[in-house]
Amino acid sequence: MLMKWPNQLVNCIARNKSVLFLGAGLSMNSTDNFGTHPKDWKGFLISGSNTLDNLRDKKLIKKEIENGDYLLACELLKKSLGDNDFIELLKNEFERPHFREAEIHKDIFKLNQRIIITPNFDKIYDSYAAHESNGTVHIKKYDEEADIADGLRRHDMLVIKMHGTIDAPQKVIFTQKDYAIARTNNAKFYKIMEALLMTHTFIFIGAGINDPDVRLLLENYSTMFHTTIPHFFITTKENIKNKEDVYSEIFNLKFLTYDNRDYHKELSDSIHALVNLVEEEKTKIAASQNW
């Protein structure tokens, strides 16, 4: 079964007036040479806690995981492991398996949007986009504010790594403390994000509504411009179960949901269909010359 794409969303992509925000659900479609998929945040935390010898820490972390407080669980895991072992864990989970791009990454690239933002610090989409574009897609991290601003003004093709990259694990934003430091030290980056929310339609794909940065940006935007056209949030049915109406009101979002079975296959199939819809819309716009 495929998702039904709203005409407004299709039109925004066809006119290149959208920002694609790629969440962890996208990476879940990838596999390594053994057919293993990347873990989600919860899976990563469980795997990491199982490496601990300290039973007290392990029990405390698993309790926070069960409570759904992944930020605190990650903070505790990092503290228990120490910086060096935590970085090793990150690399073992997100870099060394050599996850390959899936069909959904290829279809996202075919949508040909100029601005892509992702909190994922794996390099699955980045590597594919850089290769397919012959290096004309520029990969920029949250702490490269001047380069991001310059790229936006020059109409460069950008992939903006909102939480950093596994290439620089010391700067990855993954714990409660990391978020707090980034908001203080990289305030200009968040100003850029706020500006984009006002000028473009954001399409969140496979993202979680509980990401602190996502919530903060959407709360601020919705408070200032609550009656404007909503942004689109594509997520699993489980993510917003019984909360869709409340979140729509608070964040000014239009939710599109899918079933996460078979490693988010419904999302992948629906994005593939979206590519064709966007091409048809571009043809109509070109024929009418109504750009």
* Domains of the chain, CATH where assigned: 7-32+101-288 (3.40.50.1220), 41-94 (no CATH)
- What band does 34 get if pLDDT is binned at 50, 70 and 90? very high
Residues contacting residue 131 through CB under 8 Å, at least 6 positions apart: none
Cα 33 from chain centre: 24
pLDDT (0 to 100) of residue 260: 83
Q: At what angle do helices 41-49 and 70-81 cross, to 10 degrees?
A: 30
- Per DSSP, the residues of 129-187 read HHHHTTT-EEEEETT-HHHHHHHHHTT-EEEEETT--TTSGGG---SHHHHHHHHHHTH
- pLDDT for 189: 97
pTM for the structure as a whole = 0.94
The mean pLDDT value for 217-230 works out to 84
Q: Are 163 and 174 in contact (CB under 8 A)?
A: yes
Confidence label for 209 from pLDDT (cuts 50, 70 and 90): confident
pLDDT range class, residue 238, cuts 50, 70, 90 = confident
Kindly state the percentage of the chain with pLDDT values over 70: 100
pLDDT band at 213 (very low <50, low <70, confident <90, very high): confident
Rounded mean pLDDT, 185-212 = 92
3-state helix, strand, coil in the chain (%, to 5): 55, 15, 35
> How high is the pLDDT of residue 108?
98
Average pLDDT over residues 177-206: 94
3-state secondary structure of 260: coil
Percent of the chain at pLDDT exceeding 90: 76
- pLDDT attached to residue 225: 82
Q: pLDDT digit string (tens) for 125-177? A: 999 999 999 999 999 999 999 999 999 999 899 999 999 999 999 999 998 89
Q: Reply yes or no on whether the pLDDT at 291 is more than 80.
A: no
pLDDT at 290: 81
